[in-house]
Structure 1
Amino acid sequence: MKGFAERLKHTEEYYFSKKLKEVQGLIAAGKPIIHMGIGSPDGMPDASVIQAITQSVENPANHGYQAYQGIPALRLAMADFYQSQYGVTVDHTSEVLPLMGSKEGIMHASLAFLNPGDQVLIPNPGYPTYSSVARLLQAEPVPYALKVSHKYWPDFDALEALDLSKVKIMFANYPHMPTGAKADLQLFETLLAFCQKHQIVLIHDNPYSHVLEEQPKSIFQLEGAKKVALELNSLSKSSNMAGWRVGMLVGKHEWIQAIATVKSNMDSGMLKGVQEGAVQALGLGKDWYQELNAQYGARKKLIFQLLDKLGWGYSRDTAGLFVWAQLPQGVAATKACDQLLYEKNIFTTPGTVFGSEGEGYVRFSLCVTEEKIQEAINRL
């Protein structure tokens, strides 16, 4: 055998893929592990969503291949979601592409735009998949620092000082994962102007806009955004449907069509029942999000109590599924997480997973019951 592709030399196994093997081993050995590391919602989708998929899978006609760009009802539901939730008009026939989770959209969009040697601006800290996809495509990730002193917003003076001649894509993500930092429309406007100036495709990753965010936002609320930006969105976090793998990509027709060309060569469509369940989820009203956020809000308060007991810092004015905790000066993130895991059987995520700017921080997930969080507090 002649060996593996060169691209694998620069791409590591996803952190949680590795770490969960260790955690599962500890559980198998009888350790009472409390999972506070992963943002996988622990609740059920709405009953109407379950009913929709159940009825669909019982229909023998619904088990064949589906259209590569989703059933019309799903694309229409996604467009209606953008209209009702963000006040944004989207053409469901040409400006929205259903995805098997927004994670695959990162790969599809990157394949559509990147050539080997191109550069990609990656938030640091940020979602590790942005960098790993760039490396897999033999592009170069260029981290840009997000610091608490700038509210975890980009430092545009520092960005302007870079050589941007090879930069093809810039990833941004607000509400931000892992810090929970919020954006306002002025920040979106500055991002769009920067990318327009330098002819960079802005990909805004927006899966947390309905999680503990009083005013959900879209990059497309700003006029002219479709000239510069694409937006990823997802039902995983806001609809308790992480395992269903339903996401969407929104943007102008020419870009969506190019990405659909990539996608059509990589999968054969989504199960119709999943799509029909997603239609129901996209139509849920404010009551659904209010109830979900009440639950996450109560959990967040308990996480604050836990951090107070540890003596770690945090911000209360955040959104999303996580609490970003600041360690005491000089304490390493991996050491702090390992200490919690091995001494208290509490699994958390070191901030260094998300980039060098994550050193000194630990991420706590809200996807754990109040009872379990209280148990964690008691263990301290």
Structure 2
Amino acid sequence: MIQKADRLNDVKEYYFSKKLREVAALRSAGKPVINIAIGSPDLHPSANVIEALQQAVTLPNAHQYQSYQGIPELRDGMAQFYKANYHVILNPANEILPLMGSKEGIMHISLAFLNKGDEVLIPNPGYPTYASVTNLVEAKPIFYNLNAENNWLPNFDEIEKNDLSKVKIMWINYPHMPTGAVATKDDFKQLIAFAKKHNILIVNDNPYSFILNDNPLSILEVEGAKEVAIELNSLSKTFNMAGWRVGMVVGDAQIIKTILEVKSNMDSGMFLGIQKGAVEAFKLSNDWFQKQNEIYQERRALVWKIFDALNCTYNPNIGGLFVWAKIPADENSEALTDKLLYEKDVFITPGTIFGTNGEGYIRASLCVDTATLNEVLKRITA
């Protein structure tokens, strides 16, 4: 057996990759498991988006390699989207880089800026990929605490007790996954000031702006943000295009050029039909967001009832694609979710997969229709 690379010693298989195999095995054994753990939108993209994809398949150049930077009309669409929704002006020629999903951007950014031994500030709780990619590139994760008392925002006094001289990147994610917490423009101003003080690149991962959130924000709205910050965004949740793998990284032209140096060696461009569909998505009006959110509001009300039945507490003023709930004090997150899986045939996410500060919490997705959520409620209350 060929020995695996040392870089994998600190990297585990992604929790959902492993757990979904277990769920599949339970289903194969006849267990009617309901999955309300995953944030994979079950709603469809706009009909205009699908039609654009279908029509693009017949274009003369549809099946050729495409530009590493995406077609100009896609970058123009992204620029218009940022201008209309965030009041951020971006040059589509050099301040926008389309990605095959923003998740790949996490790897590209890390490869572009991190050397072995560099340090990275990572939220706890937070998206597990930030830490795993940091380990893969042989940098060092430095976890900073988020908690309910501080509205799941960074505590700069606590962070600055550490030696930050080796920190090159700080990952942030607002609206926050898994908690749903939002940052205000003043919060972003503090982050930009912190980054300038310590010469750190801030990366805001921003795919949840428009889901049950009345005030979409970009960190790039802050004056001077482009000097120290870039932003990832995605069509996965906003436009129900998770499987299409379309995202973007935006920011200063020189930073984007550096990321392109990595990306252009990793793939050969996005399929033209997907790009054409994405262009149509960016043309959708605010009615699109309103209709999506009406569906999510109805689902969220049912998830609240499920958590009420489990004696959990939650913040009803927080939006996003998930509900983050505090479990009773005498419960353990993973023990509770395993009990629900094995005894009630319901798969819910334990908060601990997002970090040690996730202990005492569980998370449910809104990517499940109301009939299914009613069945979950029925099982739990039976």
Separation in 2 of the partners of 1:2 and 1:315? 49
* TM-score normalized with structure 2 length: 0.98
User: Partner of 1:134 in structure 2?
Assistant: 134
User: Partner of 2:11 in structure 1?
Assistant: 11
Question: Contact 1:70/1:275 (CA < 8 Å) preserved in 2?
Answer: yes
User: Partner of 1:33 in structure 2?
Assistant: 33
Percent same amino acid at aligned positions? Answer: 55
Separation in 2 of the partners of 1:332 and 1:106? 31
Q: Say which SS state the counterpart of residue 9 (structure 2) adopts.
A: helix
Cα distance, 1:11 vs. partner? 0.4
2:86 is the alignment partner of 1:86: yes
Unmatched 5+ residue regions in structure 2?
A: none
Separation in 2 of the partners of 1:349 and 1:310? 14
Q: Say which SS state the counterpart of residue 121 (structure 2) adopts.
A: strand
Separation in 1 of the partners of 2:348 and 2:294? 23
Cα distance, 1:160 vs. partner? 1.1
User: Partner of 2:232 in structure 1?
Assistant: 232
2:74 is the alignment partner of 1:69: no
Separation in 2 of the partners of 1:3 and 1:33? 37
Question: Contact 1:35/1:347 (CA < 8 Å) preserved in 2?
Answer: yes
Q: Structure 1 counterpart of 2:15, which letter?
A: Y
Q: Say which SS state the counterpart of residue 168 (structure 1) adopts.
A: strand
Q: Say which SS state the counterpart of residue 335 (structure 2) adopts.
A: helix
Query: After the TM superposition, which residues 260-339 of structure 1 pair with which residues of structure 2 at under 5 Å, given as runs?
Result: 260-339=260-339
User: Partner of 1:243 in structure 2?
Assistant: 243
Separation in 1 of the partners of 2:2 and 2:296? 50
Separation in 1 of the partners of 2:114 and 2:249? 17
Q: Structure 2 counterpart of 1:216, which letter?
A: P
Separation in 2 of the partners of 1:121 and 1:337? 29
Query: After the TM superposition, which residues 39-118 of structure 1 pair with which residues of structure 2 at under 5 Å, given as runs?
Result: 39-118=39-118
Separation in 1 of the partners of 2:125 and 2:257? 31
Question: Contact 1:172/1:202 (CA < 8 Å) preserved in 2?
Answer: yes
Q: Say which SS state the counterpart of residue 290 (structure 1) adopts.
A: helix
Separation in 2 of the partners of 1:306 and 1:16? 22
Cα distance, 1:200 vs. partner? 0.2
Q: Say which SS state the counterpart of residue 23 (structure 2) adopts.
A: helix
Moved more, 52-61 or 290-299: 52-61
For residues 129-173 of structure 1, the C-alpha deviation after alignment (integer angstroms, 9 at most, x for no partner) is 000000000000000010000010111110111110110000000
* TM-score normalized with structure 1 length: 0.99
Unmatched 5+ residue regions in structure 1?
A: none
Cα distance, 1:58 vs. partner? 2.4
User: Partner of 2:379 in structure 1?
Assistant: 379
Cα distance, 1:378 vs. partner? 0.7
Cα distance, 1:112 vs. partner? 0.7
Q: Say which SS state the counterpart of residue 226 (structure 1) adopts.
A: helix
User: Partner of 1:168 in structure 2?
Assistant: 168
Q: Say which SS state the counterpart of residue 269 (structure 2) adopts.
A: coil
Separation in 2 of the partners of 1:238 and 1:2? 42
Question: Contact 1:330/1:360 (CA < 8 Å) preserved in 2?
Answer: no
User: Partner of 2:218 in structure 1?
Assistant: 218
Separation in 1 of the partners of 2:203 and 2:61? 37
Q: Structure 2 counterpart of 1:356, which letter?
A: T
Q: What's the C-alpha RMSD, in Å, of the aligned pairs? A: 0.8
Cα distance, 1:310 vs. partner? 1.1
Question: Contact 1:208/1:319 (CA < 8 Å) preserved in 2?
Answer: no
Q: Say which SS state the counterpart of residue 315 (structure 2) adopts.
A: coil
For residues 94-126 of structure 1, the C-alpha deviation after alignment (integer angstroms, 9 at most, x for no partner) is 000000000000110111100000000000000
Structure 1 runs of 4+ off > 2 angstroms? Answer: 58-61
Separation in 1 of the partners of 2:57 and 2:33? 36
Question: Contact 1:39/1:365 (CA < 8 Å) preserved in 2?
Answer: yes
Separation in 2 of the partners of 1:58 and 1:363? 43
Q: Structure 2 counterpart of 1:147, which letter?
A: N
For residues 162-209 of structure 1, the C-alpha deviation after alignment (integer angstroms, 9 at most, x for no partner) is 110110000000000000001100100001100110000000000000
Separation in 2 of the partners of 1:93 and 1:17? 37
Cα distance, 1:27 vs. partner? 1.1
Cα distance, 1:318 vs. partner? 1.0
